[in-house]
Amino acid sequence: MKPRPSIFIEGLEPFIDTDLVCKPSPVFSEMEAYAKEKNIPIVTAATGGVLSHLVSFLKPKTILELGTGLGYSTLWMFYGSKSSKIVTVDRHEEQAKLLEVYAEKMGVKDQMDVTRVTGSVLETLEEEMFWIDTDFYFVDCDKITYPKIFQTLWPKAKKGSSFVFDNVLWHGRVLHPDPKKPSDMAVMELWNAVKSQVSDYTLFPVGDGLLFFRK
pLDDT for 173-211, tens place per residue? 999 999 999 999 999 999 999 999 999 999 999 999 999
Tell me whether residue 7 is in a domain: no
The pLDDT tens digits for 27-55 are 999 999 999 999 999 999 999 999 999 99
> What integer pLDDT is reported at residue 4 of this predicted model?
63
201: domain CATH number is: 3.40.50.150
Asked, for residue 171, whether it belongs to a domain, the answer is: yes
Instruction: Flag whether 184 is in a domain.
Output: yes
Examine the pLDDT at 167 and tell me if it is beyond 70. yes
Residue 6: predicted pLDDT: 67
Residue 157 has pLDDT above 60, yes or no: yes
**113 in a structural domain:** yes
Residue 97 has pLDDT above 80, yes or no: yes
Give the per-residue pLDDT at 10: 87
Round the average pLDDT of the chain to a whole number and report it. 95
User: Which structural domain, as residue segments, surrounds residue 150?
Assistant: 12-214
**Domain assignment present for 5:** no
Residue 4 counted as domain residue: no
pLDDT grade, residue 7 (50/70/90)? low
Mean pLDDT of 123-151: 96
Residue 64 lies in a domain: yes
Provide the domain count of the chain.
Answer: 1
Q: Is residue 66 part of a domain?
A: yes
Number of alpha carbons in the 13 Å side-chain half-sphere of residue 138: 31
